[in-house]
Amino acid sequence: MEYNLYINGASVPTATHMDIFNPATGELLGKCPVAGREELDAAVAAAAQAFKSWSKVSNEDRKAACHAIGKLLEDNAEELAKLLTQEQGKPLNGVGSRFELGGCQAWTHFTADLELPVEVIQDNEEGRVELHRKPIGVVGSITPWNWPLMIAIWHVIPALRTGNTVVIKPSPYTPLSTLRMIELISGILPKGVLNVISGRDDLGQMMSEHEDIHKIIFTGSCATGEKIMASAAPTLKRLTLELGGNDAGIVLPDVDAKAIAEGLFWGSFINGGQTCAALKRLYVHADVYDDVCAALTEFARNIPMGNGLDENMIMGPVQNEMQYNKVRDLVEDAVAGGARVLLGANPEEGTGYFYPLTILADVSDGTRIVDEEQFGPALPIIKYTDVNDAIARANASDNGLGGSIWSNDIEQAKALASRLECGSAWINKHGMIQPNVPFGGVKGSGIGVEFGVDGLKEYTTIQAVFT
């Protein structure tokens, strides 16, 4: 099936397409349209024209439009979930495609109800000062391949809610589900308010350089985020960048290993580990090291992996060959350096990018799989004896997205969590995000935040009105 772009309320074919394959079967799923500068210019022009009227639509009408999008996502959830599974690889069940579509609906409805009222800064005999928030203009959204639909919603809905118009570009690895979702959503909005283009990586650079795009929101790798920041600089665009993480978890010696095994597993292996805020390296105190290794391995051993269209599967393949090879190389490097394999690490030959759930013990800092973000189903476990040393090692990273402390002593855990250099810190859990809580990183993990009122503000400019 050939897919089209969706620009200015119309389906737009392209002269060139690229093949999109199912990562579980290797079968051709569909043909993605490849847009160039001409199509980008058309989408931006449509969004700029639509902004003139959409920015003046009442607050209540924009709220209602966002709620209507949420209802549309509910009505079309199964179609989108099945397409997402075939394209991305994640299973329908578990923390998979149906879960992702549920998240899309929840974030949409919650964001629809957020408000940015006029703030009164001063009101006295010297005068009144009000702070008004105004939409920025055309927002360019560039999304990744790991949670393609939910992250698209994270970008698009707050932009629409605040009166902006949008041009969105999905990852070239997972464009089809986004093309379909945006086509559905665009049908209930005025033409030009929401446009979707797809293509290769150079299209993202064109967007970040485009003088008529006023803000870029990007979720993806640190390296790509740096390139976007550089190419956006000449036009002084607003930026929200949610970049990579190498999140550390620290397990204290007072835990019950069996009680925390399930939480550690899902913190590490949600979406097959292909999540920015997944737990990527686990520091465990020597007193409970063997118990934690055993309990986590036993839990992981019973998780079925296979084609996500099989209702019995809980894990799917790595999404693409490049990422599969990276995970394999990092694991092989660790094993060659003396890591002990507790589970996995020996992928079978066959169809699909299935890398087994892998747990490695006796790994140390300085090993690539500890120092680099693996972004896949492999977890290194590092033994420590001094919690201050563990905190220092957790912080010895250029990234700072998330981190976690695991302990029965909540107050001690909170005190230690406050010392982690990261945007989100969890106690006895990892990676749990909420639409009412700002989410973003420090250090190399990004600029700005998403979600909640703070995230909504990032789609606005401020104007102080003095009377």
- Domains along the chain? 5-243+442-466 (3.40.605.10), 247-427 (3.40.309.10)
Query: In which band, very low, low, confident or very high, does the pLDDT at 15 lie, cut at 50, 70 and 90?
Result: very high
Q: What angle do CA 313, 314, 315 make, to 5 degrees?
A: 100
In which order are the strands placed within the sheet that holds 119-124? 119-124, 127-135, 460-466
- Start-to-end CA distance of the chain, whole Å, equals 59
Given the residues 242, 421, 450, 458, the one annotated as active site: 242
The dihedral sign for the CA sequence 337, 341, 346, 347: negative
Annotation marks residue 276 as catalytic:
yes
Nearest residue to 219 via CA among 183, 177, 174, 181: 174
Mean pLDDT score of the chain: 97
Query: In which band, very low, low, confident or very high, does the pLDDT at 425 lie, cut at 50, 70 and 90?
Result: very high
Which residues are within 8 A (CB) of 378 and not within 5 positions of it... i.e. 6 or more apart? 273, 327, 330, 331, 344, 345, 355, 358, 359, 360, 369
Given the residues 32, 104, 222, 276, the one annotated as active site: 276
Distance of alpha carbon 196 from alpha carbon 287, whole angstroms: 53
pLDDT digits (tens, 9 = 90+) for 374-403: 999 999 999 999 999 999 999 999 999 999
pLDDT digits (tens, 9 = 90+) for 429-443: 999 999 999 999 999
Look at residue 327 in the predicted model and tell me its pLDDT.
Answer: 98
Query: In which band, very low, low, confident or very high, does the pLDDT at 253 lie, cut at 50, 70 and 90?
Result: very high
How far, in Å, are 49, 107, 110, 112, 138 from residue 64 at the CA level? 22, 14, 12, 7, 21
Annotation marks residue 222 as catalytic:
no
Distance of alpha carbon 360 from alpha carbon 200, whole angstroms: 35
Residue 86: what are its φ and ψ, rounded to 5°? -70, -30
* % of the chain surpassing 90 pLDDT: 99
Query: In which band, very low, low, confident or very high, does the pLDDT at 458 lie, cut at 50, 70 and 90?
Result: very high
Distance of alpha carbon 269 from alpha carbon 375, whole angstroms: 10
Answer whether 403's CB lies under 8 Å from 427's CB.
no
